[in-house]
């Protein structure tokens, strides 16, 4: 079952100016998102990809007790990946 929720905290990965991946933060705390961001940035080449935490409107799906983002319907980023 899919649900549209506004103000969902997600970790977004940008590559060449567009969002290529988004991860739902299970406890919906910005501190948890920033922690995950730091862990990912240590393991990827920061020159090629950029990570950013933010609140978005998204379609969320409950998959056996874990929520996942199906689609971001409204975000705060422009095509370059920076805040509007």
Average pLDDT over residues 19-36: 93
DSSP conformation letters of 1-59: -EEEEEEEEEEEEEETTEEEEEEE-TT--HHHHHHHHHHHHHHS-TTTEEEEEEEEEEE
Least confident piece of the model among 4-13, 29-38, 70-79: 70-79
- Asked whether residue 52 is assigned to any structural domain, the reply reads yes
Contacts of 2 (CB under 8 A, 6+ apart): 59, 60, 61, 70
Mean pLDDT, residues 69-79 taken together: 76
Q: What is the pLDDT averaged over residues 32-59?
A: 90
- Residue 82 confidence class, pLDDT cut points 50, 70, 90: low
pTM here? Answer: 0.79
Rg (CA), the chain: 13
Q: How many domains does the chain have?
A: 1
Domain membership of residue 8 (yes or no) is yes
- For residue 35, being part of any structural domain is answered with yes
Q: Is residue 81 part of a domain?
A: no
Residue 64 in any domain: the answer is: yes
In a domain, 82, yes or no: no
Q: Per the domain annotation, does 84 fall within a domain? A: no
Report yes or no on 22 lying in a domain.
yes
Find out whether 10 and 54 touch, Cβ atoms under 8 Å. Answer: yes
Query: What domain range is 44 assigned to?
Result: 2-74
């Amino acid at each position: 079952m899919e649900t549209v929720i506004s103000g969902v905290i997600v970790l977004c990965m940008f590559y060449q100016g567009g969002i290529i991946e988004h991860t739902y933060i299970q406890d919906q705390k910005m501190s948890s998102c920033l922690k995950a961001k730091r862990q990912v940035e240590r393991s990827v080449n920061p020159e090629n990809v950029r990570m950013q935490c933010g609140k978005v409107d998204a379609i969320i799906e409950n998959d056996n007790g874990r929520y996942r983002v199906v689609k971001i319907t409204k975000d705060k980023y422009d095509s370059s990946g920076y805040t509007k």
